Amino acid sequence: MAAFDHSLAALRFFGDELAPDEISALLGANPTVAHHKGQEIVGSRTGVTRIARTGSWRLRASDRRPEDLEAQIFEILEQLTQDLSIWASLARFNPNLFCGLFMRSSNDGISISAKAMLAIGQRGIALGLDVYDCGEEESIVAP
């Protein structure tokens, strides 16, 4: 089983009542990207302005080539509070860890350690894995 070519990872929270500053204060870190519901957002690639349909708080890990999803998971979690009661209070925003995995060949694989799965599970974070064929464009990923 070959390793993935590269990986992307971002912790994400969404909700109509989400206040990015509140999330940052509770978690102890600033997001990579955040906005309130109703906020005007200008697309970085298109320059098109849109209105946010819901609030969002996202913290992205550094891209890894070759793939190292485990390191990305801990890069994100180590910046944030270890207080599980705070994580429980944020469950209403459905925390999820978006992971984009880009194949190098037609049969790449990945393993995630029990330590990483426990850390994600204790915090109530859903794990989402998007796997992209070696021919797909990276630009389709929007963590």
Length of the chain: 143
- What's the pLDDT tens digit per position in 115-135? 999 999 999 999 999 988 876
Domain interval for residue 129: 2-140
Which helix (H) or strand (E) covers residue 93, if one does? none
**Cβ atoms of 52 and 37 closer than 8 Å:** yes
Q: How many domains does the chain have?
A: 1
Residue 31 has pLDDT above 90, yes or no: yes
User: What is residue 123's predicted lDDT score, i.e. its pLDDT?
Assistant: 98
Q: Which residues contact 22 (CB under 8 A, 6 or more apart)?
A: none
13: phi then psi, degrees, rounded to nearest 5: -125, 140
- What's the pLDDT tens digit per position in 85-119? 999 999 999 999 999 988 877 777 788 999 999 99
- What's the pLDDT tens digit per position in 61-85? 999 888 889 999 999 999 999 999 9
User: What is residue 136's predicted lDDT score, i.e. its pLDDT?
Assistant: 58
User: What is residue 90's predicted lDDT score, i.e. its pLDDT?
Assistant: 98
Neighbours of 14 (CB within 10 A): 16
- In Å, what is the CA distance from 16 to each residue of 13, 52, 96, 122? 11, 10, 16, 24
User: What is residue 28's predicted lDDT score, i.e. its pLDDT?
Assistant: 98
- In Å, what is the CA distance from 117 to each residue of 11, 33, 37? 14, 25, 31
pTM recorded for the entire structure: 0.89
